[in-house]
Amino acid sequence: MLPDVGTRVRDSLRSPGPWSVVPPAAGPRTTDPHQRLALLKWMIAARLIDERMAVLYRQGHIPGGSVFLAKGQEALSAALGMQLRQPAAGRAGDIFAPLIRDLAARLAFGEPVIDVVRTHLMRRTGPMRGRDGNIHRGDLAQGVLPMISHLGAMVAPVCGVLMARRLRGEPASQRTIGATSIGDGGMQTGALHEALNVAAVEKLPLVLVVADNQVSYSTFSDRTYACASLVDRAIGYGVRGYSIDGTDADVCLATLHEAVARARADEGPQMVVATLLRGAGHGEHDDASYVGSELKARFGDCLTLYERTLLAATTISEADTVAWRNEVTAEVNAAIQQALAEPQPDPAQEDWRALSSRDLATELMPRWAPASGAG
């Protein structure tokens, strides 16, 4: 029997087409002032750090490659990151496989700013040691899987972590969940399809966050998919689907809270499809001149909208936002100064080995003793 996917899914079936903004969801909105403040702070931090990385790129400090901005997606991303539990002494944490526009979620899940900067500047001190760059960074000890570039490829490994934990007998009271992000482009890959189906078959505590940001690199959604809304696929996979306005931060927060809570309660995979607009180029090498003014006019910027909302509600003041911006700017600037002073990788110091095993031809693989009583 298929799970109840809720009225919001059925409502989305009536939405007229892939470019349309799904009407603000009838579902819950966050009203808790502490949660709202935290969300706004992560959004501001992600926006400012992203912009600072873009400046480093334009100044030529980023060796090769590009810098990928999450502008317009911070509300969705931060709302996810705030739900995730970090590992603690004696307790495993949640697993997160971020995609390229997930700085806000990473920060909310505990990523240190210095590691963001070190990886963009490819310092030896960063988690990838200069062997892999900027948005590919991850830290397995912290539960962040380092993405590979192939879209959709991170979903199955998150499933694998969750299956391993189930085999180990993780108690329900300490249930960890797996979260990962994808876009309207990555939703069309075979890897995504295979893995989401596995998650559904195995009823894994997986949360898939889909940022339908209208454009994959330069190709618009009408050349990417033909269904009315990507959330229509939820019922096909047998997972719970949510369709939300990704520019409405309160809705993002409430929806991600519900989705993660349901996953943690062993209700199986959850798929949140958020409609929004990528607010920058694919990367900073791309001016996105192909995005027309008509499309831009349909979408607000989640950060601008949320600041306006919270100012109007007098939850915050102008002075607050200035102070937070100054705080983040000071922290990222200090991190840049620190990272620039740190060593780059040294080819002469590398061991240049892709295997952890040594001496396979001469040493026996250590393992248990041969079965006794054989023969």
Residue placing its CB nearer to another protein in the complex, 294 or 346 = 346
Give CA–CA dist 206/196, Å, rounded. Answer: 9
- Shortest distance, position 260 Cβ to another protein, whole Å: 19
Q: Which of 88, 167, 226, 348 binds another protein (CB under 8 A)?
A: 167
Q: Which two tokens stand for residue 184?
A: 């309207």
By 3-state DSSP, what share of the chain in percent is helix, strand and coil, each rounded to 5?
Answer: 45, 10, 45
Residue placing its CB nearer to another protein in the complex, 201 or 330 = 201
User: Which span (190-198, 221-229, 234-242, 303-311) binds another protein, by CB under 8 A?
Assistant: 190-198
Q: Which residues contact 43 (CB under 8 A, 6 or more apart)?
A: 74, 75, 78, 104, 249, 302, 303, 306
Residue 145 sits in the site that holds another protein (CB under 8 A): yes
Q: Which two tokens stand for residue 344?
A: 């780059």
- Please name the residue ranges forming H helices in 214-290: 232-237, 249-264
Residue 235 sits in the site that holds another protein (CB under 8 A): no
Do 174 and 91 form a contact (C-beta atoms < 8 A)? Answer: yes
Do 141 and 109 form a contact (C-beta atoms < 8 A)? Answer: no
By rule CB under 8 A, what string of x and - marks binding of each residue 84-123 to another protein? -----------x----------------------------
Residue 138 sits in the site that holds another protein (CB under 8 A): yes
Residue placing its CB nearer to another protein in the complex, 16 or 375 = 375
Residue placing its CB nearer to another protein in the complex, 347 or 370 = 370
Residue 65 sits in the site that holds another protein (CB under 8 A): no
Q: Which of 21, 37, 38, 198 binds another protein (CB under 8 A)?
A: 198
How do beta strands 240-245 and 270-275 pair? parallel
For residue 179, how far is the Cα from the chain centroid? 8
Q: Which of 15, 35, 197, 321 binds another protein (CB under 8 A)?
A: 197
Give CA–CA dist 284/55, Å, rounded. Answer: 10
Q: Which two tokens stand for residue 46?
A: 């992600």
Residues that bind another protein (CB under 8 A): 95, 127-129, 131-132, 136, 138, 140, 145-146, 148-150, 153-165, 167-168, 190-191, 194-195, 197-198, 201, 353-357, 359-368, 370-375
